[in-house]
Amino acid sequence: MQTKPFRIGTRGSPLALAQAHETRARLMAAHGQPEDMFEIVVLSTKGDRITDRSLALVGGKGLFTEEIEAQLSSGELDFAVHSSKDMPTRLPEGLHLSAFLPREDVRDAFIGRTAPRLAELPHGAVVGSSSLRRQALIRRLRPDLEVVIFRGQVETRLRKLEEGQADATLLAFAGLKRLGMDAVPTELLDPEAFPPAPAQGAICIESRIGDRRMDDLLAAVDHAPTRHAVSCERGFLATLDGSCRTPIAGYAVIDGERIRFRGMILTPDGAHHHDIETEGRIAEAAALGAQAGLAIRRKAGTQFFETWS
């Protein structure tokens, strides 16, 4: 019987803490355990400390997980809670994504200061975003706009917007909802025209491979539809590029035993893009995503990908 608290690793941002608290609450309910059996351990990561440069220039998604995964591998943590879209497609040896919580809304939220909708921004307006995918999609839809890098936590980006550093910004609606900021967006973007990042809106739990005790504990909160959808999207991402250097979008929808996937790749300037749609059985979700990645590579041709280097 467990006598000491399970140690849950997380970043210290308000959103990361909200996700860790949601995970703890679900585990408490599933196992009938008191709160003091789940200790939330806050760790600072390089991604949190470097806020003045694009992730693509300083190391990619792993900057948000490196310190946490080191303590997870050493046994100092029992498991860790992450935003799935922040996870590299290649994890450190001995670690895996062992559970997924039910997914939130996948849409991107537009927050306009000078206009309530992306289409209504005046010519030459400034939009702040740190995501290469969002930057490329904005430029695809509105090549007349100026896009600048906006890094930092949700609250930091909203403060920059309020200070007038940009006319608008975009954030994941899922994160705003988890922070109780449902009313902040001035427009929710249609995922058909503005597709989300792979795994957007999904909370994942990372633990050690072969740790049966943790696997059994976490299985009680694992949401199979989210697992299948994210596996498909990460399969697509892994085939193309699992870092923050490329504008890649993709999302999967579960319908009974079937899964439908749509993916998109863009040049950073948004001038060129390719998309792909496919469907199959949920049992083949990861393979379906990987096959879609290979197919869109062939469709785009090698010259398209040279623009990413």
Report strand pairing: 6-10 vs 248-255.
unpaired
The residue count of the chain comes to 309
Cα–Cα dist 22/14, whole Å: 12
Q: Cα angle vertex 87, ends 52, 162, to 5°?
A: 35
Listing DSSP states for 202-252 in one string gives -EEEEEETT-HHHHHHHHTT--HHHHHHHHHHHHHHHHH--SSSS-EEEEE
Place of tokens 């090549």: 143
Assess contact for 201 and 174: CB atoms under 8 A: yes
Start-to-end CA span in the chain (Å) = 52
Assess contact for 249 and 197: CB atoms under 8 A: yes
Half-sphere exposure of 205 (CA within 13 A, CB side): 29
Question: Amino acid letter at 30?
Answer: A
Residue 86 designated active-site: yes
- Selected catalytic residue, list 86, 105, 108, 211: 86
Cα–Cα dist 307/309, whole Å: 6
Give the helix ranges, DSSP H, for the chain: 14-31, 46-49, 55-58, 66-74, 132-141, 154-162, 173-178, 212-219, 224-240, 285-300, 302-306
Q: Which residues are catalytic?
A: 86
